[in-house]
Chain A
Amino acid sequence: MTSTEPQSDEDLVELAKSGDDTAFPELVKRYSRRILRVARNITNHEEDSEDVLQETFMKAYTHLDGFQGNSKFYTWLVRIAMNESLMKLRKRKTGKLVSLDEELNTGEDTMVREIAVWEGNPEDTYSQEELREILDKTIASLPEGFRTVFMLRDVEELSTEETAEALELSIPAVKSRLLRARLQLREKLTRLFKSKGENTFAYL
Chain B
Amino acid sequence: MPTCKDFLRELSDYLDSALDPATKKELDKHVEECPNCWVVLDTTQKTVKIYKGCEPQAVPAALEDKLMTALKAKMAEKKCGSS
Contacts and interface: CB of A to CB of B under 8 A. Distances in A.
A interacts with B: yes
Given A58-B74, A112-B8, A128 B55 contact: yes
Chain A binding surface SS class: helix
A185 B47 CA distance: 7
Contact of B75 (A21, A117, A155): A21
Interface in B6-32: 8-9, 11-13, 15
A25 interface: yes
Interface in B40-57: 40, 42-44, 46-48, 50-57
Interface residues of A, number: 45
B71 A186 contact: no
Contacts of A204: 4-5, 8
Contacts of B52: 154-155, 157
Interface string B65-83: 0111011001100110000
B67 A117 contact: no
Given A122-B50, A189-B43, A37 B67 contact: no
Interface string A111-126: 0100111100011000
B77 to A, nearest CB: 10
Contact of A182 (B9, B12, B36, B75): B12
Q: Chain A CB within 10 Å — which of B42, B59, B78 has the most?
A: B59
Contact of A115 (B11, B13, B39): B39
B44 A182 contact: yes
A179 to B, nearest CB: 4
A24 B51 contact: no
A178 B16 CA distance: 11
Interface in A47-61: 50, 53-54, 57-58, 61
A36 B74 contact: no
A53 B48 CA distance: 25
Interface in A95-139: 110, 112, 115-118, 122-123, 128, 131-132, 135, 139
Contacts of A157: 52
B58 interface: yes
Contacts of A154: 48, 51-52
Interface of A: 19, 21, 24-25, 28, 32-34, 36-37, 50, 53-54, 57-58, 61-62, 110, 112, 115-118, 122-123, 128, 131-132, 135, 139, 150, 154-155, 157, 175, 178-179, 182-183, 185-186, 189-190, 203-204
7 contacts: A36-B56, A37-B57, A61-B74, A128-B54, A139-B51, A182-B48, A189-B43
